[in-house]
Structure 1
Amino acid sequence: MERSAPGFAGPADGPPLDYARDLGDPGEFPYTRGARGALARSAGWTHRELSGEGSPRRSNRQLHYLLGHGARGLDVIGDAATMGLVDPDHLYARHSVGTQGVSVCRREDFFELYDGVPMGEVSVSNSMNAPFCIAGLYLTAQHNGTDPALIRGSVINAPFFMEDYGYATHLPFPVRMRMALDAIEFATTHLPRFHPFVEDTYFISDGGPGPVDEMALGFVEIRAVARALIARGLDIDSFAPRIAVLVNCRMDVFTEIAKIRATRRIFARLMRDELGARDPRSWSPNVTVHTSGASLTAQQPVNNIVRGALQAFAMAAAGVKAMEISAFDEAFRTPSGTAHLVGLRTQQIIALETEVSASADPFGGSWFIEGLTDDIEARILARVAEIEAAGDPAELFESGYFRGIFQDAMERFGREISDGSRTVVGVNAFSMPPEDDTLLKEVSEVKIRPDDEHTERIIAWKAGRDMDRVAAGLAHVNEGVRTGANTVELIIHAFEHDATVGEIAGEIRVASGLKRDPMNPGAAA
């Protein structure tokens, strides 16, 4: 955006807006000013903090700690093995079990993880593989005597990009896409209050891309997934109200506020004008946020508290529906109990002491913000058109097109810090000798050790199973994959027959013509 004069915006910077067409009151199309009206906004946002560490039992204690300190929702991340659909006793997983999240590989792990959590009352969000997560939550609700239809929460579901910026499942794009669609279709019927399609642009952004690429890539995926569901015969209004967008908030807070305003407007017009949604709930996106983990530093970790607070205030002003503050020790580990409490108290102070919710969209009408919103919207739409013109998404993935975007962005981000064009306090400005950089280091540098005890429990449990029963469950998966059955239903059936995530994923690979174990391609199918 070019301003009329350096350092400030004036009337010439404000775009020619039609209030009803381009802004609308909060809670009204096109939702630029917020998805909720003033009364609904006064309730604030859902306060969450990322959790998951070690075994399900250990992570369960984290969940109850957060709930006991006022968390309004939960968010659980699986460890690398769980996200990659590998069991903890796998040769290449044992060295890191539970160090980057919770280890979950069987139905009983879900039972232990959510033991005592009121699943019909507390929103439960998950950074795990969507079909397996939904299957586990469905069975857990039944086990706890909760109607699965009452479960609230969400799960990341990103078939396009997860292999490139997150955790590789070693499943080909068509299989990932099918499983993503199966998860949404199953939840639409059986978990109607759950969000089975979280477009996770946070991971995209924290991988290096800026706000325009972040949202452009997200909308490419939202558009493609929605069209594929419609092609399956689903009505757009049956699933669109349960789409959520998890965005990042980096340090350029005005750009991030404008990005969210533009995102709501683009989403509303996409759903109503392009895809034909008739239900107003389909037009209004559920925008949630993580403050940026990539903006946090190992040097002077106390500075990260300030970064998180500034980002969180900006997102509260932007009107997000849920928020997590990336913990001050994230450069070292998943959040410690101390970091959890700091993040949660930061949200509570912002919500209860600043009156940030007194007015929806408090920056609306600013020449600067309105011009910035229009500018970002135009650039996002232009980038979407450029990406879609480059070819079919499946072919782009296979060619490494998306991977190239992430690699270039990561290299550029690192280069900007190295050459000083991007200032990071404590790193390339106002640094200090390591011997003086001690504040919060003792907490942050505590290492999470691999949970060998949990791995041994899984090994012993596997040895005691009825293997004929397990084999029958896996055979059902194989047949169902080949005949087009819903993969979530197949996973549920296999979980009930004591099969594990790694075993089920292996059977899906075999039924899809692949090797059972992608980390050991020489093994027999």
Structure 2
Amino acid sequence: MSAIDEPQALGRRLVYGPDDVTLDYQDDLGNPGEFPYVRGSRPPRAQGAPSEQVIRALSGEGPAERSNEQFKYLLEHGATGLDVIGDTPTMASMDPDHPYARHSVGNQGVSLCRADDWVRLYADLPLEEISVSHSLPTAFGVAGMFLAARRLGWDPLLLRGSMILAPLFSEDTSYSHNIPLELHMRLAVDATIFSTERMPRFHPFVEDTYFISDGSVTAVEEMALGFIELREVVRRILAKGVDIDSFAPRIALLVNCGMDFFGEVAKIRAARGLYAEMMRDEFGAKDPRSLAINVAAHTSGATMTREQLVNNVVRGACQTMALTMAGVRAMEISAFDEAIRTPSEAAHMVAIRTQQVVQIETGVGDVADPLGGSYYVEALTAEMRQRIKERYEAIEALGDILELAQQGYFRAIFEEAMVDRSREVLDGSRRVVGVNAAKMAPEDDVLLRDIAEKRIEPHYEVAAEIARWREMRDMPAVVRALDELEAIGRDESRNVTEGIVDALEADATMGECIGVLREAYGAPYDPLGKTVRPR
């Protein structure tokens, strides 16, 4: 859920005026496209020029071929970009035929585990015209797209898109890969360096605060924790001898957007200003592109309710308006059936049309930063900016970030926030329409339910296909590639993404690759004890 859902969270008052805002326009705000980029990362587009905002919807279901059909459907109906998410096994770096995975294959995203899956996923798509955003394990997503582009005849140098990066908090707020934190960090760092060299138009470093925020923390906490993770990864890349201006232009933010309209706008504006200041003053970036971070957003799935599904359409529209006014470059609107299933075709269409109506009919995106200058929004932005910085500096002062994570410091933050959020909804202090306010009898709550409650069965045939395919591989080649990947994992001077590319090319699976990397870092090949390493 969002951010600051309570106005009192930042001491908000009922009326704001000139005395609430003390600003030096050029130093604190600047014009859109100028330092410190609070008002936007790019200059306003030319009068009458089409919107540059990317319209997309989170997608992925079943085997790669099914998801490929879904992509084509979305592009035919107005999407200008794609956003793909893996199913639970894929997101956990687990193969679909793992005994603990087969009941979750394909019913919460696309199933991917081998090079051929990525080829099928992207086949016949206009990759030269669109960007593809990925919610996938970072290193494998980068390697898979790189391999697929080569096999499909696309030049990797021209690929556009992005990959989420969440090495520090993934085990606490997202999907557990059961790998050491140091390996999480290594995969993130090496994937960023690999992409900088081999896919220079691609954004491999998308700091994903969506998962942080949907863990029920406040907006200040969401962005402070996101900056902590981002700063740690940047430091580690710099320690490899990589120049800041060679990779910083390809860093982006993926933020959450909840129902606190003005709080979300202020959060995004504050984040742009903080980032520009940090990159220039702390990390020494000189290229203006390194200072002007692109912000994308996914509207909060946690704000979507099972009750009164049509209310979710309204929530999505409100969130779309907020993101457009905040100058977000690309967004995905959580589907009205998000609380029940992966998006149905109808829900996908509503999400796309919501963005199109706001973009084409309302005019809210015709002027850059239309809320700029509002006493309320400027006061909120300034306070948010100050409190985010104070929070991440206070946490960093506690000691080594990875040690804090290993001690459970961050997990405790998320657990406390989730308990508090649940209690507030249950006791009614946090009002949610349809849940504890303006309720409806279940027998009357039928609108859209026939669509949302269509069951998506696990794709057992995918697990069976992978099991058969394993037996037909060139096993000596697979074993050699996995042995080499383990050796790379033990050698910090080498890039592990290169080894993953080679291993996938040799028909190793994602689960086998992560297994040997676990062993390189002193962990069991399969922590669940159900599979063995190919020998």
Normalised by the length of structure 1, the TM-score is 0.97
**Deviation by residue 1:120-164 (Cα, 9 ceiling, x = unmatched):** 221011011111111100011111111001110001111100111
Distance 1:117 1:233, change over 3 A: same
CA distance 1:25–1:5, shift in 2 (3 Å)? closer
Equivalent residues in 2 for 1:158-177, closer than 5 Å: 158-177=166-185
Is contact 1:44–1:357 with CA below 8 Å preserved after alignment?
Answer: no
Contact 1:38 1:359 (C-alpha < 8 Å) held by counterparts:
yes
Is 2:167–2:184's contact at 8 Å kept on the other side of the alignment? yes
2:4 is aligned to none
* Among candidates 490, 497, 519, match of residue 510 of structure 1: 519
- Please, which of 81, 88, 95 is the counterpart of residue 80 of structure 1? 88
Q: Is the 8 A contact 1:515 1:524 kept in 2?
A: no
Structure 1 residue 314, shift from structure 2 partner: 0.8
Report what 1:466 is aligned to: 474
- What is the CA deviation profile of residues 14-40 of structure 1, one whole-angstrom value per residue up to 9, with x for unaligned ones? 2x1111100101110000111111116
CA shift, 1:489, in A, is 0.5
- 1:270-419 superposed matches below 5 A: 270-419=278-427
Q: Counterpart of 2:342 in 1: which secondary structure?
A: coil
Q: Of 257, 264, 272, which aligns to 2:265?
A: 257
**Residue deviations 1:42-95, cap 9 Å, x none?**
523101100011111111111011011111110100111111111000000011
2:40 aligned with 1:19:
no
Deviation (angstroms), 1:522: 9.8
Query: Contact conserved, 2:98 with 2:530, CA < 8 A, in 1?
Result: no
CA separation of 1:257 and 1:280: change in aligned 2, threshold 3 A: same
Q: Indicate the SS of the match to 2:290.
A: helix
Shift of 1:523: 6.5
Q: Distance in 2 between matches of 1:46 and 1:5?
A: 33
Say how many residue pairs are matched.
524
Q: Please list the CA deviations of residues 228-272 of structure 1 after superposition, one character each: whole Å capped at 9, or x if unmatched.
A: 111110110001110010001110110000001100000000011
Give the Cα separation in 1 of the matches to 2:484 and 2:128: 31
Distance 1:521 1:219 in 2: 37
**Which residue in the other structure is 1:34 paired with?**
40
**Counterpart secondary structure, 1:229:** helix
Q: Deviations over 1:351-386 (max 9, x none)?
A: 011111221111111111110001111110111112
Amino acid at match of 1:220: I
Equivalent residues in 2 for 1:210-249, closer than 5 Å: 210-249=218-257
- Alpha carbons of 1:408 and 1:497: their partners in 2 closer, same or farther (altered >3 Å)? same
**Quick check: 2:58–2:82 contact (8 Å CA) kept in 1?**
yes
SS of the aligned residue for 2:298 comes to: strand
What amino acid does structure 2 have at the position aligned with 1:310?
A: C
Aligned match of 2:504: 495
| Partner SS for 2:93 | coil
Q: Which structure 2 residue ranges, 5 or more long, are not aligned?
A: 1-6
User: Given that residues 236 and 277 in structure 1 are in contact (C-alpha distance below 8 angstroms), is that contact kept between their aligned partners in structure 2?
Assistant: yes
Contact 2:58 2:84 in 1 (8 A): yes
Give the drift of 1:208: 0.6
| Normalised TM-score (structure 2) | 0.96
Q: Distance in 2 between matches of 1:482 and 1:352?
A: 53
SS of aligned partner of 1:244? strand
Distance across 2 between alignment mates of 1:386 and 1:444: 44
- Preserved contact between residue 79 and residue 98 of structure 1 (Cα < 8 Å): yes
How far is the alpha carbon of 1:420 from its aligned partner? Answer: 1.0
Q: Pick closer, same or farther for the CA change 1:5–1:233 going to 2, 3 Å.
A: closer
Aligned counterpart in structure 2 of residue 478 of structure 1, from 472, 475, 486: 486
> Could you tell me how far apart the structure 2 residues matched to 1:240 and 1:392 are?
23
CA contact (8 A) 2:515 2:533 kept: no
Cα distance in 2 between the residues matched to 1:453 and 1:5: 54
- What SS is found at the alignment partner of 1:294? helix
Q: Which amino acid aligns with 2:27?
A: R
Letter of the aligned partner of 2:343 in structure 1?
A: P
- Could you list the structure 1 runs, at least 4 aligned residues long, displaced by more than 6 angstroms after superposition: 1-5, 521-525
